[in-house]
Amino acid sequence: MTDTRPDPAGAPAHREKPETRPARPYFSSGPCAKPPGWAPEKLAIGSLGRSHRSKLGKARLGHAIELMRDLLRLPDTHRIGIVPGSDTGAFEMAMWTMLGARPVTCLAWESFGEGWVTDAVKQLKLEPQVLRADYGALPDLGAVDWSSDVLFTWNGTTSGVRVPDGDWIAADREGLSFADATSAVFAYDMPWEKIDVATFSWQKVLGGEGGHGVLILGPRAVERLQTYTPPWPLPKIFRLMAKAALNEGVFKGETINTPSMLAVEDAIFALEWAKLIGGAEALLARTEANAAALDRIVAARDWLGHLAADPATRSKTSVCLTVAGADEAMIKTMASLLELEEAAYDIASYRDAPPGLRIWCGATVEAEDIEALGPWLDWAYDQARIQEDNSHPGEGRDP
Ligand SMILES: Cc1ncc(COP(=O)(O)O)c(C=O)c1O
């Protein structure tokens, strides 16, 4: 069957396959692309097969912590430690150890923020005030009551909507700010003085491995830990207090339980790469350049759009795109075709999000690979429409 409809982008249907593929078609929003030049044989493996509490093991964990502190431009007021359970583990550790002391507000505008609401309500049996927005939007940040503890995702990975900055966080807040910042750190300039708790995992902007979380605590969060004991039981892997004192070892590399030293060495590789290319500024600039390259692709095609309505709240890492006329099946077809062609891996939107594409623009992705992706998106869109028409002959469909 011949596709005779005009192409909304003005290009011919039955497009030829583009000649140039992205050199590294890794656009997944987590685990994300490895740093350019990464290879398993480049990892330092001296700490493998050794105790993580040996002098060497502790030194490598301490090195990872110091590199993170440096690259995040974290002030001395804030502690940073490696904890179990990837970002989820770190965020739940913060919730379980600190919530319950005062009222709670949860902001939810995509899947992971909703997950923290579920935890607060169903597991901790709290009654948070929940400020919600649909995919693509932010709740009213001006409506947040800062006498409560406030939980939010800095960058909503599944909707591509982020908070624009930290200006909406009250400087004189009585409650604590809890930021799930897993797809935000190393990509945005974080106003640490406004953040009492932040969590992330190495698998996002650093292109590291999952498994371990990173927990950042400001002085007010530490004070909460030291003055408040939650009424519920705490599993050992959540315990940050020992004998009525903060377990300071966690922030020096004395992990609560056994970490994967392979994952640690992998993170060190990424952090050293980041330092080598110019540190925090270089990471932010690479992310900006990638997001701008993708934005140019979107602007040139009327069938592609941003799910995040307001450019000021549009993610620069997990960029979520709408595709005109596409349902879940068509997105699946596009994503599968691109994977088969090794042109793009893992770019279908998250399972709970509206059907669309999600393209990671974090620092480990190269801008020229994003640029090379544009013609492949055109090709996949054409192919998917033709396949849809063939499977529903005679049915009209809006473009
Ligand atoms: C905002 C956000 N929170 C939490 C998670 C869960 O992270 P992890 O699998 O590292 O625990 C993700 C993963 O994509 C995320 O994007």
Choose the residue to mutate in 29, 119, 157 for probing ligand 1, maximizing ligand atoms within 8 Å of C-beta: 157
Single pTM value for the model: 0.95
**CA distance linking residue 184 with residue 181, whole number of Å:** 5
**CA distance linking residue 8 with residue 6, whole number of Å:** 6
Q: Whose CA is nearest to atom 7 of ligand 1?
A: 87
For 154-256, list the strands marked E by DSSP.
155-156, 161-162, 177-180, 197-201, 212-217, 241-242, 245-246
182 CA to centre of ligand 1 in angstroms = 6
- 210: Cβ below 6 Å to ligand 1? yes
Looking only at the bridges linking them, the beta strands covering 155-156 and 129-132 are: unpaired
Single-letter amino acid, residue 287: T
At residue 261's C-alpha, the angle toward residues 260 and 263, to 5°, is: 65
- 30: Cβ below 6 Å to ligand 1? yes
Q: Which residues neighbour 283 within 8 Å (Cβ) at sequence distance 6 or greater?
A: 71, 186, 187, 205, 274, 277, 363
Whose tokens are 């996949």? That residue is 380
Rounded to a whole number, what is the distance in angstroms from the first to the last CA of the chain? 17
Closest of 81, 114, 123, 112 to residue 234, by C-alpha: 123
Q: In this structure, what DSSP letter does residue 26 have?
A: B
DSSP bridge partners of 197: 178, 217
Peptide bond into 22 cis (omega under 30): no
Mean pLDDT in consecutive groups of 10 residues from the start of the chain, 399 residues: 43 76 98 98 98 98 98 98 98 98 98 98 98 98 98 98 98 98 98 98 98 98 98 97 95 98 98 98 98 98 97 98 97 98 98 96 98 98 92 62
- 201: Cβ below 6 Å to ligand 1? yes
- 199: Cβ below 6 Å to ligand 1? no
Closest of 90, 115, 98 to residue 213, by C-alpha: 90
- pLDDT at position 4 is 39
Atom of ligand 1 nearest to the CA of 89: 11
Q: Which two tokens stand for residue 285?
A: 């600039």
**CA distance linking residue 164 with residue 314, whole number of Å:** 8
For the chain, list the strands marked E by DSSP.
79-84, 104-108, 129-132, 149-153, 155-156, 161-162, 177-180, 197-201, 212-217, 241-242, 245-246, 304-306, 318-323, 357-360
Q: Whose CA is nearest to atom 16 of ligand 1?
A: 157
Closest of 28, 36, 20 to residue 361, by C-alpha: 28
**CA distance linking residue 253 with residue 64, whole number of Å:** 8
- pLDDT at position 390 is 86
158 CA to centre of ligand 1 in angstroms = 10
Looking only at the bridges linking them, the beta strands covering 129-132 and 104-108 are: parallel
Whose tokens are 């307001």? That residue is 310
- 203: Cβ below 6 Å to ligand 1? yes
Choose the residue to mutate in 83, 88, 159 for probing ligand 1, maximizing ligand atoms within 8 Å of C-beta: 88
Q: In 219-256, which positions are buried (b, 16+ CB within 10 angstroms) versus exposed (e)?
A: ebbbebbeeeeeeeeeeeebebeeeeebeeebbebbbb
**Contact indicator for 263, 209 with CB cutoff of 8 Å:** yes
Closest of 192, 113, 102, 108 to residue 149, by C-alpha: 102
- 379: Cβ below 6 Å to ligand 1? no
Q: Which residues neighbour 392 within 8 Å (Cβ) at sequence distance 6 or greater?
A: none
Looking only at the bridges linking them, the beta strands covering 245-246 and 241-242 are: antiparallel
**CA distance linking residue 307 with residue 320, whole number of Å:** 6
- pLDDT at position 399 is 43
